[in-house]
Amino acid sequence: MSIHGQCQCGNIKTKWNCIDYSMSPRACQCDYCANKQAAYVSKPGSLFELSIIDKRHHRQVKQGSETATFHECSYCNSLIAVTVEIDQILYGILNAKFLNNKIEFADAIETNFDGQSIEEKRQRWQRNWCRAKIT
């Protein structure tokens, strides 16, 4: 089973292979994510793929600790996913706002990880995020 999604203009497409979509998105409260109204979903052990049609409009942004990479479409200004490479493995989370989930996600839960060190964040991401592939 998979869920598909895309940015507003269709330049960045997603396909998430996961067997359980009954989750609550996490709405990060940092200024950047709150401004984008992002709420993220992930499931350890699952895989998502980002397919970028026009790479000229694939904007990669670093925020906060500058450890993770935020993937946006510069044409429509949509934030689609966040990734980080740990031990040569790409992990990521998807912005639920741009996924076509027929059963719908639960309401977003506000989260704040400001007090975590970079190492604590990396451990949390490795434990909780999906595997990711970008083409």
The pLDDT value given to residue 55: 96
46-70 pLDDT, tens digit per residue, is 999 999 999 999 999 998 788 999 9
Nearest to 81 by CA among 2, 31, 13, 9: 13
Categorize the per-residue pLDDT at 74 as very low, low, confident or very high, splitting at 50, 70 and 90.
very high
Categorize the per-residue pLDDT at 41 as very low, low, confident or very high, splitting at 50, 70 and 90.
very high
Percentage of the chain lying above the pLDDT 70 cut: 100
Percentage of the chain lying above the pLDDT 90 cut: 79
Assigned token pair, 124: 């949390």
Beta-bridge partners for 78: 73
pTM: 0.93
The span from the CA of 48 to the CA of 52, in Å, is 13
Query: Helix, strand, coil proportions of the chain in percent (round to 5)?
Result: 15, 40, 40
Helix (H, G, I), strand (E, B) or coil at 129: coil
Categorize the per-residue pLDDT at 13 as very low, low, confident or very high, splitting at 50, 70 and 90.
very high
| Contact of 129 with 45, CB cutoff 8 Å | no
The pLDDT value given to residue 61: 96
Q: State yes or no: pLDDT of 21 exceeds 90.
A: no
The pLDDT value given to residue 23: 85
Beta-bridge partners for 99: 5
| Contact of 68 with 82, CB cutoff 8 Å | yes
| Contact of 46 with 40, CB cutoff 8 Å | no
The pLDDT value given to residue 114: 82
89-109 pLDDT, tens digit per residue, is 999 999 999 999 877 888 999
Other beta carbons within 10 Å of 18? 18
The span from the CA of 81 to the CA of 72, in Å, is 7
